[in-house]
């Protein structure tokens, strides 16, 4: 009986010692990324060209990316895709007169932004669906109330046509004005990689989604760092 107990304890000890090392080897082996990358959302086109994966020729894929855009932040700075060169960002839509849902999303973003306040690689971008009222000055006042934990949380405005087109054709979410003080827009936060591809959608009102987003930001950082061999902070 004692032999069985000792044997059982020995097996458990071996597993405790070996499994973490084995998992680590699966995740990172010889400096190469071994885990599954996050999916890429949106339409995609399989090209006729190929690339090598091991000994196999794999078709190249052209993924959906955000179109070019030119918006303005709360400090009057122009923001374009180049602003996020070798960065990742989390985007959402809002407007300053919104209550309820926007407050929930602000709370969620604030918690995430606080956790990544020291990371120069991660930005947060809140785009107004009410640009006629949400001028640069209005966004600055709003930001002063929110008190972002870092300068990398940007509140953006622009012209209505550009913003709605960016929502529909870029982020692939709803954004429109249905009437006075009535805006229809998505509660999703979108995770965007440095190639302007959508890597995840998360409800700003869902605690479980926010936990998932926090985890997947780390996964995407790791992916980009290994791809570019750049520092994480």
Q: Please tell me the distance from the alpha carbon of residue 32 to that of residue 227, in angstroms, as a whole number.
A: 9
Q: Is 110 annotated as a binding residue?
A: no
Q: Which residues of 62-88 are buried (b: 16+ CB within 10 A; e: fewer)?
A: eebbbeebebbbbeeeebebeebeebb
Q: Please tell me the distance from the alpha carbon of residue 199 to that of residue 193, in angstroms, as a whole number.
A: 7
Q: Is 24 annotated as a binding residue?
A: no
Closest CA to 88 of 221, 201, 214: 221
Closest CA to 158 of 185, 126, 183, 189: 126
CA angle 138, 75, 233 (to 5 degrees): 125
Structure-block tokens of residue 3: 């032999």
- What are the binding residues? 98, 102
- What are the binding residues for Cu cation? 98, 102
């Amino acid at each position: 009986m004692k032999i069985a107990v000792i044997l059982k304890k020995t097996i458990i000890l071996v597993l405790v010692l070996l499994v973490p090392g084995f998992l680590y080897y699966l995740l990172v082996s010889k400096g190469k990324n071994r885990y599954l990358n996050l999916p890429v959302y949106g339409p995609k086109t399989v090209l006729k060209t190929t690339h090598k994966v091991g000994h196999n020729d794999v078709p190249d894929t052209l993924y959906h990316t955000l179109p070019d855009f030119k918006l303005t932040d709360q400090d009057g700075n122009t923001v374009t895709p180049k602003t996020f060169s070798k960065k990742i960002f989390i985007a959402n839509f809002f407007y300053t007169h919104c209550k309820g849902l926007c407050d929930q999303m602000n709370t969620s973003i604030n918690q995430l932004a606080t956790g990544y306040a020291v990371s120069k690689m991660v930005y947060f971008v809140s785009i107004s669906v009410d640009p006629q009222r949400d001028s640069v000055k209005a966004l600055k006042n709003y930001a002063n109330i929110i008190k972002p934990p870092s300068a990398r949380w940007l509140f953006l405005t622009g012209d209505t046509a550009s913003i709605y087109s960016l929502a529909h054709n870029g982020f692939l979410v709803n954004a429109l004005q249905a009437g006075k003080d009535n805006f229809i827009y998505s509660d999703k936060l979108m995770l965007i990689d440095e190639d302007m591809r959508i890597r995840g959608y998360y409800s700003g009102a869902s605690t479980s989604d926010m936990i998932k987003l926090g985890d997947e930001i780390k996964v995407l950082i790791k992916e980009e760092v290994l791809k570019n061999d750049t520092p994480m902070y």
